[in-house]
Structure 1
Amino acid sequence: MPRAGWSPTDDRNRRLLRARDAMDRDFAERLDLPSLAKLAHMSEGYFSRAFRTAFGETPHHYLQRRRIERAMSLLRDPASSVTEVGLRVGFDSLGAFSRVFRAVVGVAPSQYRDRGLVAAAPVCFVKTWLRPVSFGEAPAPRAPVR
């Protein structure tokens, strides 16, 4: 039941944001469609359709992209292996991590790491430059900025 003064659309969007916030916060945890739909107080099918309408991608793709964004940041630290990074961001295996990373970014995690560090710039610029677009729309690999 929507809060007093809220339209049904406002209430639905608030519940979708609650689920998206959980994905942003707990991206490394095992999050599945039933638990996210339950968090949003929606059926699985309705949640998936409403999420895609509201945010432009399925909950699964949003979560995978969020994990890859974090992995891109962690890969800039040479102290941890590619496998460790994949496990830290919520993937079960190196193979799954590499496959999704390549689908989103356009290069393998090890190739991404080999491209080198980004030149000193404000964090907001670096995040914008390095943010993956979405599945199937990976930009062509760029040369590292030095």
Structure 2
Amino acid sequence: MMAAMTGPHAPAHHLRDLARLRRVRDRIDREYAQPLDLETLARGVHMSAGHLSRQFKRAFGESPYSYLMTRRIERAMALLRRGDLSVTEVCFAVGCASLGTFGTRFAELVGVPPGVYRREAAQATAGMPACVARQVTRPIRNREAPAPEPDLA
């Protein structure tokens, strides 16, 4: 654990790693639609892939891959609300290579499949400023989407 480090250089090392992790997070935010993998991200900040993954999760609460997918799903939600692109077009526009993985991850984060979201969100956010719609419809991270209520009737 970073906080458990001792010695005169421990705080400086911790701050240097934190700055690297922020650079990785910023890169993911900027380049979410590009093909990004852990090795490439790690090379960019001179860390091993394993170290980057562990430290990123410790600092931000999720793995770099999970963070990347959350960014992609957030952008996909905005594109789907616009309504002028198909689910497949949105999938590839946000950098996903597999429609199946995109649909699964979308449903995990948002609670409904992308096609259902496209139909319902366009109506729910009609007339709402884009900045407000983004806040209201922001996906929930780390598989915390509410489970559908069982139909006991």
Q: Common fold, TM-score beyond 0.5?
A: yes
Q: How far off its partner does 1:119 sit?
A: 4.3
Higher-Rg member (1/2): 2
With the length of structure 1 as denominator, give the TM-score of the two structures: 0.85
Match of 2:75 among 58, 70, 74: 70
Does residue 135 of the first structure (1) align with residue 146 of the second (2)?
no
- Give the superposed CA RMSD: 1.7
Q: Distance in 1 between matches of 2:129 and 2:85?
A: 24
Among the aligned pairs, what percent are the same residue? 48
Structure 1 equivalent of residue 103 of structure 2? 98
Provide structure 1 residue ranges, at least 5 long, that are not aligned to the other structure.
1-5, 142-146
Q: How many residues align?
A: 136
Match of 1:21 among 21, 26, 31: 26
Greater helix content: 2
Provide structure 2 residue ranges, at least 5 long, that are not aligned to the other structure.
1-10, 149-153
With the length of structure 2 as denominator, give the TM-score of the two structures: 0.82
Structure 2 equivalent of residue 3 of structure 1? none
Does residue 86 of the first structure (1) align with residue 75 of the second (2)?
no
The one-letter code matched in structure 2 to 1:78 is G
Which of structure 1's runs of 4+ aligned residues deviate more than 6 A?
Answer: none
